Amino acid sequence: MSNDAYHVPVMLDACMDALDIKEGGTYVDVTFGGGGHSRGILTRLGPAGRLYAFDQDPDALRNAIDDGRFVFIHQNFRFLRNNLRLRGVREVDGILADLGVSSHQFDDSERGFSTRFDAALDMRMDQAGDLDAQKVLNTYEESELHRIFGMYGELQNARTLAATIVRARVQEPIQSSGQLRELVAPLVPRGKAHKYYAQLFQALRIEVNRELEALQEFLEQAVQVLRPGGRLVVMSYHSLEDRLVKNFMAKGKFRGEVEKDFFGNEIKPLQPVTRKAIVASEMEIEANSRARSARLRVAEKIA
C-alpha cells in the first residue's frame, strides 16, 4: 500500500514551517500514521538530526521508515515522556501531532470507523485495547451514553438517542454500524444524515480511545520534554480538541484563566506563535476534503 493511499498528510508545508526545523535537532511526530509528516521532517534534517515517531496502531508499523535517524515507537502518545527517556532523550526541539483519523482507518471497513460501511462496531485505534464501540453501546448506563453523545458528539438529541439505544439493546445487542444507523434513523434531522452519523461515530470513537484524556496527558508531557524555544505544533479536527489545545497553549491549563505570580506576571509554559489557528487553503481542501476541518496551532516553549 502506498503511503499516499494510507493517508495524505494535511497542511504538510505549514506543519514543517511551524516546527522551524533545525538540521541537527531532535523532533517527535506523535501521530505517525502513513508517515507523510515524518518524511517531511526527515528531508529537512541533517545527518545529526533525529526523529522519534509514535503510533499505537499496528497497521502503522508497515509504514516505518528505513533511515538511521528514525526511531518508531509503537505506543500511544500519552506515554510520550517515559518512552523518550527510555531511549535517553530528555529534551527535543519540536513535537508534531496530527489528531485526525487516518484515511486508511476510515477506508478499512473492518475497523468500524466509517459510516460508509456495514461493519462490526470496533473503532479501536489500538487493536489490543479491551474497550470497543460494541461494549460502549451495549453495556454503558443510559446517563453515560447521554454524556458521551452530548459532550463528544455535540448531538442536540443526545438524551433521546441514549434512551433509544438502551431500549433497543434489550431486544438484541447492537453489533454493526448498519444496525446502529437503522436504529437511530428516525432521530436524524431531515437532510442532516451525513453530519448526524459522523457526529455519532465521532462520539463513540473518542470514548473508545479515551482521546481527550490522552490529548491532555500528551500536552502536559510535551511541555516537559520541549527545550526552551522548542515548538509544539498540533492539528485538530473538531472543536473539543481545538479548545483544549488553544487553552493549553495560551494559558498552560485546560480550563479557567492563566495563573499569575505575586507581581502579576503570567505563569505559563508556552507562548502561541500565531494568534489564530492556521487553516488549509482552498486548493488543498479541493485535493483533500479532510483538510477542511483542520485547525493548526503553534506554540513555543518560553525560555
Cα–Cα nearest to 30, from 67, 85, 84: 84
State mean pLDDT over 172-193.
94
What are the pLDDT digits (tens) for 36-48?
A: 999 999 999 999 9
User: Spelled out in words, what is the top-level CATH class assigned to the domain 3-103+211-301?
Assistant: alpha beta
Q: C-alpha angle 159/240/135, rounded to 5°? A: 50
CATH 3.40.710.10 at 112-209, yes or no: no
Helical segments of 20-72, H only: 36-44
- The residue among 281 and 115 whose pLDDT is bigger is 281
Give the Cα separation of 243 and 44 in Å (integer). Answer: 30
Q: Is the pLDDT of residue 148 over 50?
A: yes
The tens digit of pLDDT for each residue in 39-81 reads 999 999 999 999 999 998 888 888 999 999 999 999 999 999 9
- Between the ranges 98-112, 250-264, 287-301, where is the mean pLDDT highest? 287-301
* pLDDT attached to residue 106: 44
Per-residue pLDDT tens over the stretch 6-34? 457 899 999 999 999 999 999 999 999 88
Pairing of strands 295-301, 270-272: antiparallel
Looking at the chain, which residues constitute the CATH 3.40.50.150 domain(s)?
3-103+211-301
How does the average pLDDT of the chain come out, rounded?
90
Tell me, yes or no, if the pTM score tops 0.85: yes
Buried-exposed string 156-170: b where 16+ CB fall within 10 A, e elsewhere: ebbbebbebbbebbe
Q: What is the structure's pLDDT at 7? A: 57
Q: Where in the chain is the domain with CATH 1.10.150.170?
A: 112-209
**pLDDT-derived band of residue 99, with 50, 70 and 90 as boundaries?**
very high
